[in-house]
Structure 1
Amino acid sequence: MNKNLLFSLDIGTRSVIGIVAEKIGKDIKIIAAERKEHNTRAMLDGQIHDVPEVAAILEEVKLKLEDRVGTLNHAAVAAAGRALYTITAEAEMEISEIITPENERTLELSAIQAAQKKLATSNTVDDPTLYYCVGYSTITYKLDNVPLKTLVGQRGKKAHIEVIATFLPRQVIDSMQSALIAANLEMSALTLEPIAAINVLIPPTMRHLNLVLVDIGAGTSDVAITKNGTIIGYGMVPLAGDEITEALSQAYLLDFNVAERIKRELTMQKTSTETTITFSDILGIEYNLSPTEIVEQVKPNVGELAQAIANQIIALNKESPQAVLLVGGGSLTPLLPEMLAQALEIPAPRVAVRRPDTIHGMEFPDELKQPDNVTPLGILKVAASQSLHFITVHVNNTPYRLFNIGKLTLSDALLAAGIGLKDLNGKPGLAITVTINKQTKFIPGTMGTAAELLLNNEKTTLDTEIKDGDKISVVCGINGKAPTVYLKDVVEPAEDMSVLINNENYTVSPILLVNDKPAKLDQQLKDRDIVTYRNLKNLGEILVSVGYSPQPHRFTYTVNGVKTQHSVSTTILVNDEPATVSHPIEPNDEITLIEPKVPQLGKVLQLETIDKGIYIYFNKKKHFIPTSHYTIKMNGNNALLDDVAKDGAEITYELIDKGTPILSDILFTVGYKAPSAFSKVSVEILLNNQPAEYITPVKSGDNIEVITTPLKG
């Protein structure tokens, strides 16, 4: 085979289409095409069920093409979309620095691994290890829950990604490979039918639109959707052209092949009453019907097909798309575009059958400008861009065969080898948390070491492209360790302090507790330890630390039959000056503690004098005038206020009221002596500047004056 020749095979449920083209520079020129129907139903729903039968058709197509172009040894093929599993998955990672392309790539591949795990646990497939991830698209990037177009160059705390990953079963490849080998062909390239069709009709410049491509074959209808610049999903509907064929067969009692012929005639003729389609049923009854009559008979079945496709589109796209492009032989089914538009509730012109009229960089004849040639032309375009579908690489001396549907990188090889990309670099050591004086402190562990990636003995990165025969070595990073933290690392206590207490030297140390137990600065801390420390600064704290209690001494008495207590505080001097327990202490201060004495009776009873009375002014001098008198007994004996009240004494006291004093009482109390009768003076007594008599009552604060005037003569 000429090295510039390209050979594509579209192995469909009903037929096989082979196209040979010549590659001229970057352009492709079609030079031969051949179509061959299957003799039996060797293909069901796009899957090869009878390898020898399919191989025979492939060889027949190959031989007819070889008569025109020469020997063909290699062919590019496509796997049907019905064999795909599309899974949405997410991944996230903690971020402590600016995000690099390598970080973003690692996150993407972690999401792919999550999709692989999701497939493995979905019970959808028997053996998930037999599935290849053949492609993925990023749906969203988020940093701290904020959507972004890319994470590269950003800084935050938590990066998140959501991808849609597509998986292809190995069985599909193996059966296709077996059929090709039986037809003396090698697989030069493999793509996916929806990807092949999209490459022809929806180039990357159009993928910002929300478009749906539906490839309607004989057994299934493949769905692919673009949006926001990428392919966001693939799907499959297990209904297609055969449903219409089967409906015709049932309606008119026809052999399946006869019904298939009638369906094709419907797609080639205008739906009208002017032409007729002639056929006979299995009983020999002949029919001459217009296309309109026949279409009316299968109209409900076309509606069911349209609704099934619409349901799959809504399930994948979550809403009606902007437009739908129909390709494949089944797209020519009468009324299907109109019914699909109605089911999606979009304008009828937005659903249209598309033919490969022009393809950039490809020249092909008019006979290939039919909807069912979109996929084989797409396969040809993929074949022109890659020459080897599988490559073999060695990861840590173990060979792995990779599915080469596009550019393969080192990360793809690691995925195939089952090496967790998230675990390549060593994880940071577990942090510990300690509480210091009720404040939480987070202490991180040591950082893990970076993985060492070698490609053919040279350092490389995950994004490096790989090729057949490459040797990859991976040495995973070592995890960091939990931190080793001592008490001295988290507290800064003051130095020991010397003080003199009652002429004796004491060394005062700060309080250090771990989990309420005394600790030393060299004690190692554990996760969730509770640390309490306090520098001793005031007099009260220092006295307690050396064993002195600054608490007052309490004496107990029975006073008039009632138990009572009297507290007497220790006298404290700091450097010979009175001080309280809150007094700040400096190194080498001298502290003197004077023990409290037994209180006197007056202190216990809170009496300064045994008498109660009033104050008056006599001739401008202040005088205390008793108006009542206490009688006091202690342990049954008369007592005075300055007597010592021993602890436990029984005390009784009573107040005797003398009544309101009168002026004569006041004069007597102040020691006033009236002049004798022979003194030849007159005496005038004024109370608050008013004349008063000896019996006039006196109250507190009154002013009394005695005025003596000599008599004349």
Structure 2
Amino acid sequence: MPSLEQKDQNIVFGLDIGTRNVVGTVGYMKDGKFFVIAQKSRGHETRAMLDGQIHDIGKVGATIRTIKNELETETDIHLTDVCIAAAGRVLRTVETSYEEMLDDTRSITDEDIYNLDSKAVEQAYQEFIKNNESDLKFYLVGYSVLHYYLNDYQIGNLEGHNGGKVKVELIATFLPDDVVDGLYKACERAELSVANLTLEPIAAIMVAIPEKFRLLNLALIDVGAGTSDICVTDGGTITAYGMIPAAGDNLTEAIARHCLVDFNTADKIKIDASTHETVTYTDIMGLDKTISKEEVDTSLKPLVDQMAEQVTKEIKRLNGDRPVSAVFVVGGGGCVKGYTEAIAKNMEISEERVALRGEEVMKDFEFLNAGDTARDSLMVTPLGICMSYYEDTNNFVFVSFNGAQTKIYDNGKLQIVDAAMQAAFPNEDLFPKRGQALKFTLNGEEKSVPGQPGESAVIMLNGKPADIHSKIRANDIIEVTPSTAGEPGELEIGSLAEFKSTFKVNVDGKEVMASRFATVDGEPQTSFYKIRPGDDVKILDYDTAEQIAKLLDIEITPDTLIMINNEEANADTPVYENFKVEFKSREDTIMDYYKDIPDADVVAMEQENEEAFENADEAVIADETQFDQEAMDEAVDSITPVKNILAHDLHVIVNGSPVTLHNKADYIFVDVFDYIDFDLSKPEGRGIVTMLNGGSPNYMQPIAEGDNIEVYWKK
């Protein structure tokens, strides 16, 4: 009688392809329960698998075929399709950080955050490829955000805050294509098609942590032979995967050293000691020995504590440097005495919140013809692989992305952006691209004006408009037209806040508010000048006399005499704040100077000169043909000259305050003491400190308009 077909019977065939053993399970789901029809286990005859990765496809395929044949014989069902799982230890995790500048004039959106995360994941992928020097393809399984930062401060949620420097630290998890390929090919050697592929940590969670509990922040530890695989849940989903290279084999090796036996004998001692008070064995010297369960536990305790400390540290790291609420342990290595207690101690949670999962989570499983099948933690992952078949997730699916078939790992929350990443579509082509930033220097400081945003990518999903967050399923058709770049950044000098500021100048006796003076690469420019990339812009704290004239519509001609602070100047002479500027005709200049001489001084000089001339008259002899030359010379010498027309006021800053000096054509440093309250005859310190524009002057040193002077006693 021919075997019944698997599909006709709605039978699930699950394979747990481990490093040491392959476990095959056949069963079916009915009324919310999973019925196990048969189960077979067989160890690898050679080291065909190492650390969860197939090294000899032919030998692993042969082991799978043997288990398949045994199950077909026992169940009388022709098995054609199989569910498998990739070991958690083959997952590759990369921790990375990525930062960028966002416009600080607008609020951060969900799309900004997703863009930041995506760029970080892409960077993690590139770092992984670089460090592994591999051309293999990798599938993004998931990522977990550790921390966000805004302007270098850690923050819980970026959304809604104004932009600035944003940063994300995350862990991205990848599955190498050669692992997937090896599993598929090994199954093909046994004439089996892969109906579903999941990850071992996910399969374990399906049994150990029911879906209703996955909203909680929990951790699952699968303690296998070579590694302890970790996954963390929160908010109804798996948020992170991890692994430490310490597990059951480490315990076996410790027993081998303690008992002086080979690895296989030590492994048997470890297993037997978990259920017997004493274990008898033969050591390498051929001597028969007996060891108690208590002695085995005591010898393993330091290593158990060390493993617990390592795995707890990794869980906290994956969970954003904080403990989880509870921990579940599966796998043979987790059954060792003291392991769960050590986990609780290191996690700083109560012991009752760390539990070994076994029979208590198998209430929805019925074992038909089970015989001596043990419902312990070793059964969790094989049963979870079968259960994953009934979830419409955790499998590889194909989608069409811009006309190319793309294989992608379906973690149950696939979006178009995930397909784009797997298809190596440039991340920057998904989001609006800003035009090139305008970069220049302003008064020696680097400045940047962002470009304008471009158009978003045009995304079509199965012929309908969509966005990067649209959910996708197997065989979806995705078409993406890349986003465009906006116009480059631009700015006129007149828009600079530094240029808009004004200062006060006295022009022809009236106060005028003057604008700043701008140069680009040393050349004067107007407010309408458009700044170009690389320009060296300087906003000076003065205008020229010519600019002041233009501001007031004063025409400068060859006959115009420009006076700045009572001194003749040129059109390009700088005019600073509070300077006095005059525009005059040269014909009126001499008369203007004479008019500035005080009346009292003129009268005094006239009186003195009249007396001198009278004395000269007396020197003339009576007949007016001769005169006393010596007396005349003395009289002329006594005539007082007219006041120096070059005398002017000088404005300086003394000890931070403005001071005006009067009625001299030239001024020297010592003149300042006539205008300040500083008594040299009454010392108030060890000596006098004098400074001129930051230097040390001598008292006869000339001073000029606008000089900065300091005079004080040295304490």
Smaller-chain TM-score bracket: 0.5 to 0.7
The change in CA–CA distance for 1:104 and 1:344 in structure 2 (over 3 A counts) is closer
Q: Distance in 1 between matches of 2:298 and 2:401?
A: 57
Deviates more, 1:369-378 or 1:155-164: 155-164
Task: Report deviation, 1:191.
Answer: 2.0
Task: Report deviation, 1:536.
Answer: 6.8
Checking the alignment, whether the CA contact within 8 Å between 2:242 and 2:314 is kept in structure 1 is: no
Candidates 260, 275, 279, aligned match of 2:267: 260
Q: Distance in 2 between matches of 1:177 and 1:544?
A: 90
Indicate whether 1:174 and 2:181 are aligned.
yes
Q: 5 Å matches for 1:44-443?
A: 44-66=50-72, 67-68=74-75, 70-93=77-100, 94-95=102-103, 97-121=106-130, 123=131, 125-127=132-134, 129-142=136-149, 151=158, 156-203=163-210, 206=213, 211-226=218-233, 231=238, 233-252=240-259, 254=261, 256-269=263-276, 271=277, 276-281=278-283, 285-287=287-289, 289=290, 291-292=292-293, 295-297=294-296, 299-317=298-316, 318=321, 323-338=326-341, 349-358=352-361, 367=373, 369-386=375-392, 389-432=395-438
Checking the alignment, whether the CA contact within 8 Å between 1:435 and 1:531 is kept in structure 2 is: no
Q: 5 Å matches for 1:561-576?
A: none
Match of 1:696?
Answer: none
Match of 2:563?
Answer: 551
How many residue pairs get aligned? The number is 583
The change in CA–CA distance for 1:481 and 1:161 in structure 2 (over 3 A counts) is same
TM-score, with normalisation over the residues of structure 1? 0.68
Q: Distance in 1 between matches of 2:632 and 2:454?
A: 83
Deviates more, 1:61-70 or 1:319-328: 319-328
Checking the alignment, whether the CA contact within 8 Å between 2:150 and 2:158 is kept in structure 1 is: yes
Task: Report deviation, 1:129.
Answer: 4.3
**Equivalent position amino acid for 1:313 in 2:** T
Task: Report deviation, 1:219.
Answer: 2.6
Q: Deviations over 1:258-304 (max 9, x none)?
A: 443333222223x4xxxx444445665444x3633xx5156334531
Task: Report deviation, 1:372.
Answer: 0.6
Checking the alignment, whether the CA contact within 8 Å between 2:612 and 2:639 is kept in structure 1 is: no
- Unpaired segments ≥5 residues, structure 2: 1-5, 501-513, 570-578, 617-630, 647-715
Indicate whether 1:13 and 2:12 are aligned.
no
Match of 2:7?
Answer: 2
Q: CA RMSD in A?
A: 4.9
Q: Distance in 2 between matches of 1:214 and 1:468?
A: 31
The change in CA–CA distance for 1:304 and 1:387 in structure 2 (over 3 A counts) is closer
Q: Deviations over 1:32-63 (max 9, x none)?
A: 33333334443333333333332232222222
Q: Distance in 1 between matches of 2:347 and 2:551?
A: 84
Checking the alignment, whether the CA contact within 8 Å between 2:312 and 2:343 is kept in structure 1 is: no
Q: Distance in 2 between matches of 1:178 and 1:163?
A: 33
Matched residue SS, 1:430: coil
The change in CA–CA distance for 1:380 and 1:151 in structure 2 (over 3 A counts) is farther
Match of 2:601?
Answer: 606
The change in CA–CA distance for 1:385 and 1:456 in structure 2 (over 3 A counts) is same
Checking the alignment, whether the CA contact within 8 Å between 2:225 and 2:248 is kept in structure 1 is: yes
**Equivalent position amino acid for 2:467 in 1:** T
Deviates more, 1:634-643 or 1:444-453: 634-643
Match of 1:31?
Answer: 37
- Unpaired segments ≥5 residues, structure 1: 493-508, 555-566, 570-579, 614-625, 649-713
Match of 2:454?
Answer: 448
Task: Report deviation, 1:397.
Answer: 3.1
**Equivalent position amino acid for 1:71 in 2:** H
Task: Report deviation, 1:484.
Answer: 5.8
Q: Distance in 2 between matches of 1:634 and 1:645?
A: 23
Q: Distance in 1 between matches of 2:517 and 2:339?
A: 84
Match of 1:638?
Answer: 636
**Equivalent position amino acid for 1:329 in 2:** G
Q: Deviations over 1:504-524 (max 9, x none)?
A: xxxxx9998643645578765
Checking the alignment, whether the CA contact within 8 Å between 2:255 and 2:299 is kept in structure 1 is: no
Matched residue SS, 2:563: coil
Candidates 472, 477, 484, aligned match of 2:478: 472
Task: Report deviation, 1:370.
Answer: 0.7
Q: Distance in 2 between matches of 1:349 and 1:358?
A: 16
**Equivalent position amino acid for 1:113 in 2:** E
**Equivalent position amino acid for 1:596 in 2:** I
The change in CA–CA distance for 1:464 and 1:610 in structure 2 (over 3 A counts) is closer
Task: Report deviation, 1:78.
Answer: 1.6
Match of 1:679?
Answer: none
Q: 5 Å matches for 1:612-651?
A: 638=636
Q: Distance in 2 between matches of 1:65 and 1:439?
A: 76
Checking the alignment, whether the CA contact within 8 Å between 1:266 and 1:334 is kept in structure 2 is: no
TM-score, with normalisation over the residues of structure 2? 0.67
Task: Report deviation, 1:360.
Answer: 8.5
The change in CA–CA distance for 1:405 and 1:442 in structure 2 (over 3 A counts) is closer
The change in CA–CA distance for 1:415 and 1:540 in structure 2 (over 3 A counts) is closer
The change in CA–CA distance for 1:198 and 1:146 in structure 2 (over 3 A counts) is farther
**Equivalent position amino acid for 2:128 in 1:** L
**Equivalent position amino acid for 2:82 in 1:** A
Q: Distance in 1 between matches of 2:435 and 2:322?
A: 46
The change in CA–CA distance for 1:488 and 1:350 in structure 2 (over 3 A counts) is closer
Matched residue SS, 2:467: coil
**Equivalent position amino acid for 2:43 in 1:** E
Q: Deviations over 1:404-455 (max 9, x none)?
A: 3433221122112222323433422234478999999976533322222233
Checking the alignment, whether the CA contact within 8 Å between 1:248 and 1:298 is kept in structure 2 is: no
Q: Deviations over 1:571-630 (max 9, x none)?
A: xxxxxxxxx9779x9xxxx99962424969x989935236999xxxxxxxxxxxx99999
Matched residue SS, 2:185: helix
Greater Rg over alpha carbons, structure = 1
Q: Distance in 2 between matches of 1:362 and 1:307?
A: 35
Matched residue SS, 1:264: helix
Checking the alignment, whether the CA contact within 8 Å between 1:208 and 1:226 is kept in structure 2 is: yes
Candidates 466, 487, 506, aligned match of 1:481: 487
Task: Report deviation, 1:237.
Answer: 3.1
Task: Report deviation, 1:373.
Answer: 1.0
Task: Report deviation, 1:309.
Answer: 3.8
**Equivalent position amino acid for 1:461 in 2:** D
Checking the alignment, whether the CA contact within 8 Å between 2:136 and 2:177 is kept in structure 1 is: no
Q: Deviations over 1:387-410 (max 9, x none)?
A: 783333333333332233433221
Checking the alignment, whether the CA contact within 8 Å between 2:251 and 2:303 is kept in structure 1 is: no
Task: Report deviation, 1:486.
Answer: 6.3
Matched residue SS, 1:380: helix
Matched residue SS, 2:604: coil
**Equivalent position amino acid for 1:114 in 2:** Q
The change in CA–CA distance for 1:186 and 1:154 in structure 2 (over 3 A counts) is farther
Deviates more, 1:396-405 or 1:368-377: 396-405
Q: Distance in 2 between matches of 1:408 and 1:539?
A: 67
Q: Distance in 1 between matches of 2:264 and 2:551?
A: 108
Q: Distance in 1 between matches of 2:254 and 2:605?
A: 127
The change in CA–CA distance for 1:82 and 1:636 in structure 2 (over 3 A counts) is farther
